[in-house]
Structure 1
Amino acid sequence: MDEDLNEGEEQRDDLGSGLGLRAESRVERRANRRRARSRRAFGCFAGLVSLIVVGAIVAGAVVGFGKGKDALEGVFSAPDYDGQGTGTVLVEITKGQAVSSIADTLEKKEVVKSARAFERVARDDARSLQIQAATYTLRKHMSAKAALALMLDTNASVKVMRVSVPAGKTKAEVSVTLQTKLKLPSGQAANALAHPATLGLPSYANGNPEGFLYPATYDVPKNANATTMLKLMTAKYASIAAQLNLVKAAEHKKVDPYQVVIVASIIAAETNRKEDYPKVARVIYNRLARGQRLQMDSTIHYVVGKDGGVFTTPAQRQMISPYNTYKNAGLPPTPINSPNVDTLRAALNPAQGSWLYFTLVNLDTGETAFASTPEEHQANVKKLQTWCQAHTGKC
């Protein structure tokens, strides 16, 4: 019986132990919940503190923004020159050119030390949006601020006077135009042409400005001399040649770029109708390919002058000259005038056709007839003769 009692006691102890475990488990759970609430409360408190700290930092940043901006700009500053610069640099700004593009141009011309420096100054000056399309007379190694100020002062940097050089003019005619319109000292333009190394000619020009004085209307920079103007003209030619990709296109056609300019100059002298340019080019190339003499009056006119006529005399066609394409095979040795973009393009892209001849049939309109055979050509010549008989004094 004692054993039973002892066994009962042991059972009670086991039961009590079980209840004690469950009670302890509940206590621990309550403690855990209290700790969780404490953590949440602390988290909210910490978040509040963080917001207060961040707010303080932001407030400090706002107060110190100007100094911080200055410090950052000091670290990432754009290279810039000091002062007003020296010498003279001509800078052409085209219509619609963006400030960033203007900045690049100024850096390439060594006016400013970096494009970024000019952009930064222009960004802070709303007047930079008023920069005009013109040719500016600036200086090398200017501060960006000084460069912008000079460009905005067009009375100082831009001379409004303009000079126009028509297409198809020889270098001698260009010389007279510049000399007369700009009232240059006697002989200055001719002397400048006699020193081609200073004019910025392409390497394939062989040191001869003929053909590379691009016809256009030019703004005359302040205090410009003949060399200044001629350099503007050769620079314009270079930009047109780049636009046409002339050197690569000529290479693709298996012709020399200089020959392209020569052909373009003949086209310019032989017809004034844009639609006929590619056809005249084709006649020239077809004759060259067949070994036929070009027989172009324009190449003789280059030597003897036009004197208002469009034809040559028998005596002129017998003259001894490398420009006499009635007697000499192939192209003349140089261009015979300054071609424009349209005749240069035609020389690079002749029309397709078998034509070997062409002639004017109406001198008033410039209408030109093309032929592939001598018989067709003679029929066209008769049309010209008929027109001339009806218009006495014009042929």
Structure 2
Amino acid sequence: MIHDGETGQDIAQALADQDVVKSFDAFYDLLRKESPAPVFQPGAYQLSTKMSGRAALDRLLDPASHLNQTVLITEGTVAVDVLQLLSEGTDIPLAELQTAAADVASFGLPAEAKTLEGFLFPDTYSFPPGLSAHDALQKLVDSQFQALDRAGVAPERRWSTIVLAALIQKEAGPNDFFKVSRVFHNRTDPAQWDSGRMQSDATVAYGTGKTHVVTTTDAERADASNPYNTYIHPGLPVGPISNPGRVAIDAALHPADGPWLYFVTWNQETRETIFSTTADEHEAAVVKWQAWMKENPEYG
């Protein structure tokens, strides 16, 4: 997906991250030499992996590669960004999507749902021209219901499963979903974690509106007015904080076996995570994370 307002650097990074080109430099250096500067249209494009920078650029500038009415939604995307993606990839105005999304009761969600968050299934979608905003969103909701059904989740458990899966999706790298799930399951056990507080920075950040980061300040973690503040309020967050995919749902239902009560993703690039059972072990892991963050302030 190319998003409205993205720069050449953004596009180069996306291509490198998805293994379309060998590296950021392989594409961006070529892009800087182009005259006149290429103009990219927002939307979805069909490319291959392991392309040369030249081939990737030619493909992005070829109208035949632009997939009309196609939208790619990745796991962990939050609802406000899903609406933007739908608008960029289709002929549906953003304002119509926002209006449709506000009518939460019309989508058949669990009674606890106050927004569509958590129930917009991440996938690649192709929409027929002229589809209404409500019907486009309903397609995503129905896909999430189907994913829950395939996972064996009864309708009465949809809400609790999605809330936990959305938290796992936001807090963990894909390789650690099942271990992170175990940490949160263990924290719901009073015999292991008597406070009952999940203490998730991702939930706090979501409640402040900072949906693209998981770091928080001392003041934010102490703010009891934030209903998503799981440092203050016990139990799972009051609602989903992302739109989870199949693996996160599976992890929520089938946590790994283990005694872990803490985890910290100390390397934000590789998503390497340290799991700990004691507070002392966790403190040592936090020190390692803080050192990495000091050397990589752009992730703060």
| Structure 1 unmatched runs, 5+ | 1-158
Note the alpha carbon deviations across 1:192-248, whole angstroms, 9 max, x for none: 11112332x344554642211101110111211211210110111121111111128
Q: Which amino acid aligns with 2:242?
A: N
Match of 2:256 in 1: 351
Match of 1:105 in 2: none
Match of 2:24 in 1: none
Please list, as runs of the form range in 1=range in 2, the aligned pairs for 1:215-230 lying within 5 A after superposition. Answer: 215-230=122-137
SS at match of 1:295: coil
In the TM superposition, what is the alpha-carbon distance from 1:392 to its structure 2 partner?
4.2
1:209 to 108, 116, 133: 116
Say yes or no: does 1:260 pair with 2:164. Answer: no
2:72 to 164, 175, 184: 164
Distance verdict in 2 for CA 1:335–1:314, change over 3 Å: same
2:147 to 237, 240, 257: 240
| Contact 1:170/1:210 (8 A) holds in 2 | yes
| Contact 2:260/2:275 (8 A) holds in 1 | yes
Q: Which amino acid aligns with 2:166?
A: S
Distance in 2 separating the partners of 1:181 and 1:356: 42
Distance in 1 separating the partners of 2:115 and 2:209: 19
| Contact 1:296/1:326 (8 A) holds in 2 | yes
Per chain length, whose mean CA-contact separation is higher, i.e. which structure has more relative contact order (CA < 8 Å, sep 6+)? 2
| Contact 1:179/1:188 (8 A) holds in 2 | no
Q: Which amino acid aligns with 1:261?
A: I
Distance in 1 separating the partners of 2:185 and 2:292: 29
Match of 1:318 in 2: 222
Q: TM-score, normalised by structure 1?
A: 0.54
Distance verdict in 2 for CA 1:207–1:360, change over 3 Å: closer
Match of 2:56 in 1: none
Distance in 1 separating the partners of 2:245 and 2:120: 10
Distance verdict in 2 for CA 1:220–1:303, change over 3 Å: same
Say yes or no: does 1:289 pair with 2:189. Answer: yes
Match of 2:54 in 1: none
Structure with greater Cα Rg: 1
SS at match of 2:242: coil
Note the alpha carbon deviations across 1:116-145, whole angstroms, 9 max, x for none: xxxxxxxxxxxxxxxxxxxxxxxxxxxxxx
Q: Which amino acid aligns with 1:373?
A: T
In the TM superposition, what is the alpha-carbon distance from 1:276 to its structure 2 partner?
0.4
May I ask how many residue pairs the two structures share in their alignment?
A: 229
Q: Which moved more, 1:323-332 or 1:175-184?
A: 175-184
Match of 2:138 in 1: 231
Distance verdict in 2 for CA 1:382–1:288, change over 3 Å: same
Match of 2:81 in 1: 173
SS at match of 1:354: coil
Note the alpha carbon deviations across 1:32-61, whole angstroms, 9 max, x for none: xxxxxxxxxxxxxxxxxxxxxxxxxxxxxx
| Contact 1:178/1:226 (8 A) holds in 2 | no
Match of 1:330 in 2: 235
| Contact 1:214/1:339 (8 A) holds in 2 | yes
In the TM superposition, what is the alpha-carbon distance from 1:289 to its structure 2 partner?
1.3
Note the alpha carbon deviations across 1:307-345, whole angstroms, 9 max, x for none: 754310111112212211011111111111111000000
Say yes or no: does 1:301 pair with 2:205. Answer: yes
SS at match of 1:312: coil
| Contact 1:204/1:257 (8 A) holds in 2 | no
| Structure 2 unmatched runs, 5+ | 1-66
Distance in 1 separating the partners of 2:256 and 2:158: 19
Q: Percent identity?
A: 33
Q: Which amino acid aligns with 1:193?
A: A
